[in-house]
Amino acid sequence: MSRVRSVRTLWRQYRPQKRRTGFLLGALAFPLVAGCGLWGADRLFPPDMHRAQQQALLLQDRRGEIIDGRVSVDGAWRFATERANTDPRYLALLLRIEDRRFWQHPGIDAPALARAFFQLVTRGHVVSGGSTLAMQTARLLEPHRHSLRGKMQDMARALQLEWRYGRKGVLDLYLTLAPESRNIEGIRAASLLWFGHEPLHLSEEESALLIAMARHPHALRPDRHPEAARAAVARLLDAVSDTGWSRRGAMSYALHVERIVHEAPGALTWQWREGQRGVYRSSLDRRLQTGLAEILRETPPPAGGTWAALVVRRDGSIAAWQGHAGNGCAGCAGDMITSWRSPGSALKPAIYGMAFQLGLLAPDTLMQDRATRFGFYAPRNYDRIFHGTTTVRTALQRSYNLPAVRALDMIGAGYFAGTLDAAGIVLKLPANTSPSLALALGGVGIRPLDLARLYTAFANGGVSRPLTLDWPVEPRPGTPLIGARANRQILSILSGTPLPRGRADTGGLRVAFKTGTSYGQRDAWAAGLRGDWVAVVWGGRPDGTAVPGITGLTTSAPVLMRVFDILPEEGEATVDDAFVPTRLSPALQKLEGRMGPQIVQPANGGIVESFADDGSATPLGLVATGGVEPYRWLINGVPLDTPVGITPSWKPDGPGFVHIALVDATGAGSAVDIRVR
């Protein structure tokens, strides 16, 4: 019995202790469980930040003037705004009016809610609201109608927002989303578009207007309801006059009401595609942008086509970008600066520059501008005339085709394309093809943006650097394209390019430029350097249709000269002739032609359509190059009687296979086999 009593005594002593321990464990477990529950709810039902993340893009020139813009994908002028970039006086007034205990409560101001509820019960209508900035931010993130359910949702989200982002983060969200009339949201967008300046410096009246508009965005729109807006500002400032805020007689804010004028749609679209959002200070110069647009609008475009032009500073910063001239042709609303077009002869300076760099040619090397066949490729000059012996200097200045193709054949088409690609100058080859000698005459696609980078490399001693719209320009490492000596030689040659008709001089500064006309007269180019500036002009039809009569020299070069006329004189590119040797080494004095005579036309293995349906035959022209004239032609072993000074031709006597042989004055020869139909 005594043992049983002792056990009962121990149990009675242990039971209170057990209750205290259980209570203590429960008290410790409740916040843990509650915290885990809240954490899980936060992860399962995160706040929708979509509206805060959708930003507009406002494009400024290098002086800060607005030149273009695009609303966010949901149609609002909205930029991320931080309190560090907002006037402290505005922030103080905002918290005084909207949420006095912002820095103390966790997102819900219980005393304010109790006061608002008591006033609603006793007076029968809403006297003052109990919403905190966190609750207003929650509603701005997820707009909904005013209701009890919506209010409860705002309270829960307010707690969640402050838990996730803290009070500073919540304040930044409010500054980004506050409605400011029209489709303007956020303090930065409102300050820029209503007042014309950043929100870091706001007057008392401007601050009050922004706070008042956030309460009644439509009723207090200052451009439509100016008197109502001024009255609201006066009431708000009178309400806080005890804190030192007071209106100074008449309202002193001046509405800027910025209307976005789309002066740089091409640059804006480029930055938008690159993912740029917010307020972007670009390297564009509004004055040059406007001047360039006027030149393109005033100049009659190629028939059914338009113009595009780009101006770049020597440091690679883009100063003016006009992707079209506003013409009404098919496709003319597109941006041609980023379109792929054939460059014609505009790549020839780079070909000769690489040949100079490799020691294969020099500016005064003698070359032959004669009919030549490179395998199955037989290029011709634009004017269909061959000019015989010429120097590299003259060949580039006059844009002869055969010497350029020969120079590319010497350095290799693959080497040329690979060097440009390594320097960041992108070429677009036809599908399933590799680089060929056709590159010399425009058999490739290039964007005006990349062509401008090529000529900017010439302005920088042969070093290619990326083009940029960023301002200020950050120094970027470059990629050597050609050596400094070869680069100076190229500039020396290009500075002697014949000016377009009607242009007597270049205004004092030396202009080094090159023109280009694509096959079939689809593109007319002019690209060049003057001082610290590089400019590229393109003219043609965006759909690629031929425009008979256009050439780079007669169509685009005059526009290029007008562009150079409006550019400030900021230094001069180095084109010193002293670096061009007056005496060439024997290896560079004259470029020897191919050994022995060659039949250029007809091509070996070719099929010639000579006979018409009525049986009549068309004579076949015979063209040869190389060797020592006079030539002797043999058709199926029979000598062809050709008078001296007359271009040889042969009239087939019937369809079939024909063996054509050629023998020069030294006895050297060549032969081709063709089929006549």
CA distances, 23 to each of 11, 13, 14, 17 (Å): 18, 17, 14, 10
Work out the number of other CB atoms within 10 angstroms of the CB of residue 608: 17
Q: What are phi and psi of 163, to 5 degrees?
A: -65, -40
Alpha carbon dihedral 242, 243, 244, 250, in 10-degree steps, equals: -70
Distance between CA atoms of 137 and 102, rounded to whole angstroms?
13
Record the tokens describing residue 463, joined without a space.
Answer: 């070093």
Work out the number of other CB atoms within 10 angstroms of the CB of residue 359: 11
DSSP 337: G
Distance between CA atoms of 618 and 381, rounded to whole angstroms?
25
Q: Is 345 tagged catalytic?
A: yes
Q: Is 556 tagged catalytic?
A: no
Residue of 72, 98, 185, 263 marked catalytic: 98
Distance between CA atoms of 193 and 33, rounded to whole angstroms?
49
CA distances, 307 to each of 446, 523, 638 (Å): 16, 10, 57
Pairing of strands 632-635, 638-639: antiparallel
Kindly report the three-state secondary structure assignment for every residue of 241-279.
Answer: HHHCCCCCCCCCCCCCCCCCCCCCHHHHHHHHHCCCCEE
Q: Please, are residues 246 and 237 in contact by the beta-carbon 8 Å criterion?
A: yes
**Where does 293-364 show beta strands of DSSP type E?**
306-313, 318-322
Residue of 191, 342, 345, 464 marked catalytic: 345
Catalytic residues: 98, 345
